[in-house]
Structure 1
Amino acid sequence: MTAKEYLQNTASRLTAADIDGVATTLHFDFGGGADYSMVVADGKAEFVEGFVGTAECVVKADADDFVKIATGDMNPMMAMMMGKLKLSNPGAMMKYAKMLGLM
């Protein structure tokens, strides 16, 4: 699975109940032009290639490291301490980590 596939699958599996009351935009920067957004609003989540809107949090990581984090092969806190995962707004990401399947 690639980071892009993970985000696409996550957006498509989220139900209105999962994201009730959530309105946010998250940017994912995997380097090399692999930029994605997840826009959550009005009870739906949308995966978009490229950056759209203003992000509440920007996630920067190598795509392979992100997949390891997403699949549980790498601890997200350790990844942050080692500089493999950078978050522009860690507090916001903590709110959405469960929604994204990262916890």
Structure 2
Amino acid sequence: MTAKEFLQKTATRLTPNEINDVTTTLHFDFGSGENYSLVVADGKADFQESFVGTPECIIKADADDFVKIATGDMNPMMAMMMGKIKISNPGAMMKYAKILGLM
């Protein structure tokens, strides 16, 4: 699985019940022009293949490291401490990590 595939699957997997009260935009920067957005509003999650809107949180990581975190092969807290992932707003990310499947 690639980072892009993970985000695409996440957008289609989320149900209105899970995200009904959530309104946010998350940007994912995997370097080398690999930039994605996940926009959640009105009970829907929309995956975009570029940066769209104003993000509440920007997640920067190597795509392979992000996949390791997403699949449970790398602990997200250890990844942050080692600088493998950078999160512009950790508080916001903590709110959304569970619905994104990152915890």
* TM bracket (short chain): over 0.9
Letter in 2 for 1:69: I
CA distance in 2, matches of 1:95, 1:12: 19
Q: Distance in 2 between matches of 1:23 and 1:77?
A: 25
Q: What displacement does 1:85 show? A: 0.5
With the length of structure 2 as denominator, give the TM-score of the two structures.
0.99
Where 1:98 maps in the other structure, the secondary structure is: helix
Runs of 4+ in 1 over 6 A off after TM superposition: none
Distance in 2 (alpha carbons) for counterparts of 1:97 and 1:19: 12
User: For residue 23 of structure 2, what is the aligned residue in structure 1?
Assistant: 23
1:12 pairs with 2:28: no
Aligned mates of 2:8, 2:20 — CA distance in 1: 19
Deviation, 1:20, is 1.4
Report the equivalent of 2:58.
58
Residue identity in the other structure for 2:61? A
Stretches of structure 2 lacking an aligned partner (at least 5 in a row): none
Instruction: Give me the whole-angstrom Cα distance separating, in 2, the residues matched to 1:99 and 1:45.
Output: 11
What amino acid maps onto 1:78 in structure 2? M
Aligned mates of 2:49, 2:3 — CA distance in 1? 12
For 2:67, give the aligned amino acid: V
Aligned partners of 1:81 and 1:98: how far apart in 2?
A: 19
Aligned length: 103
Q: CA RMSD in A?
A: 0.3
TM-score w.r.t. the length of structure 1 is 0.99
Percent identity for Structure 1 against Structure 2: 79
Shift of 1:28: 0.1
